[in-house]
Structure 1
């Protein structure tokens, strides 16, 4: 008896997986060698302060009530997979807001960067410490902070990566995540160029209208005065 053809079963088709260009990100090596010596493997399980009132860490830190209290954390910002977010309690501790951005793949990061940027701005401006976290604290969480630094400080991806890496040495960006971050830079720069071009056009139009109004006023004054008068 012939056996059924199972050649199409459990076959992993790599052709359907999108490939991304490799983005070379050089880790930051601080001039102060003591910073490198002080970093220990277990620190990846804790959170580090990246900016004023902005912390980055793994999901496990959200259960560390002592850290949350000592750091006066007022906001939790979660960027993780749908499957993980579905089992996360929406409010972990009373008095701490919890914003979640569940995504299905790195491609979805493009949609949440602007929203997370606004939350980071609010945390900094209102002096309300926020913890940004993902499962490991090294990929999605790091990516949104890097995207924020690039847009707000007009940095490239390497500079922003090195800034965050110098504070949390365990961060890493896969090619897929790095590609989304770099693509976002092209998008917000194009949006900024359009806005600035529109502002320049408005300024030119305003100057033209002002000059035209001045010309009308001068013309009216000349028309009201006779060129020759008899005395």
Structure 2
């Protein structure tokens, strides 16, 4: 099994192109019922893939993100809580559902699992719309690529994915969100410290000026008192 890329790992344009392009495997209908590895340590699939303990163990899965519509809770649920660590997200498979609000929890769970050397399966009922949308956002942010490239990368490994229109719109919106977050994190801390130092210096100058003004006023008052005597 490949080692998962570090969150700080940088890729050359050629490496990114190869990642996006995928292995070029021939896709068969039966593969819809299986899970596929999207990134080292990250797998995507349907409910059926989460129900086969032997397959999960053979793939080295340690963590599972179970994404379901609340009305599916009876069937789409953690099957092996003793063997795997689960994150369960109740998400409506509807174009109005806000995925961006729910994504940080899934992102943190996946990231921590991979950093610990684990392997994560992300699944929903069919592995077509709900779970792929979360995985596309994760891939986009992890590799710092466009939403189109992230979608193509996931689709080149699991050909049957098809996020609904509302999810696709949010995937596009998330590109600007994660890029803004990166820009904030890359803001030079020393510049911020310099601004703080300048502010402190300015405050000190203001305080000194105020003290000088107070002394001047005191001298003027003393002179006025002397002239009145």
TM over 0.5: yes
Q: Which of 102, 105, 116 is equivalent to 1:126?
A: 116
Where 2:145 maps in the other structure, the secondary structure is coil
Distance, in Å, in 2 between the alignment partners of 1:119 and 1:180 is 20
Cα deviation, 1:172-214, whole Å, max 9, x if unaligned, reads 12221100111122223333334444746414336759xx7xx
Where 1:72 maps in the other structure, the secondary structure is coil
Instruction: Tell me which residue corresponds to 1:228.
Output: none
1:43 aligns with 2:43: no
For the 8 Å contact 1:146–1:161, the answer to whether it is kept is: yes
Q: For residues 30 and 159 of structure 1, do their structure 2 counterparts lie closer, same or farther at Cα, with a shift above 3 Å needed?
A: closer
After TM superposition, the structure 1 = structure 2 runs for residues 129-208 of structure 1, keeping only pairs within 5 Å, are 129-197=119-187, 199=189, 201-205=191-195
Count, aligned residues: 183
Instruction: Tell me which residue corresponds to 1:85.
Output: 73
Distance, in Å, in 1 between the alignment partners of 2:33 and 2:22 is 25
Distance, in Å, in 1 between the alignment partners of 2:56 and 2:91 is 25
Q: For residues 186 and 85 of structure 1, do their structure 2 counterparts lie closer, same or farther at Cα, with a shift above 3 Å needed?
A: farther
Report the CA distance between 1:67 and its aligned residue.
0.8
Report the CA distance between 1:164 and its aligned residue.
1.0
Cα deviation, 1:142-168, whole Å, max 9, x if unaligned, reads 111110121222211110011111111
For the 8 Å contact 1:138–1:171, the answer to whether it is kept is: yes
Instruction: Tell me which residue corresponds to 2:52.
Output: 64
Runs of 4 or more off by more than 6 Å in structure 1?
A: none
Q: Which of 55, 68, 85 is equivalent to 1:97?
A: 85
Q: TM-score, normalised by structure 1?
A: 0.68
Cα deviation, 1:66-120, whole Å, max 9, x if unaligned, reads 2111012111101221111354444525221111111123432111111111112
Distance, in Å, in 1 between the alignment partners of 2:22 and 2:172 is 27
Q: TM-score, normalised by structure 2?
A: 0.69
- Unmatched 5+ stretches in structure 1: 1-27, 213-231
Distance, in Å, in 1 between the alignment partners of 2:162 and 2:193 is 44
Distance, in Å, in 2 between the alignment partners of 1:129 and 1:70 is 11
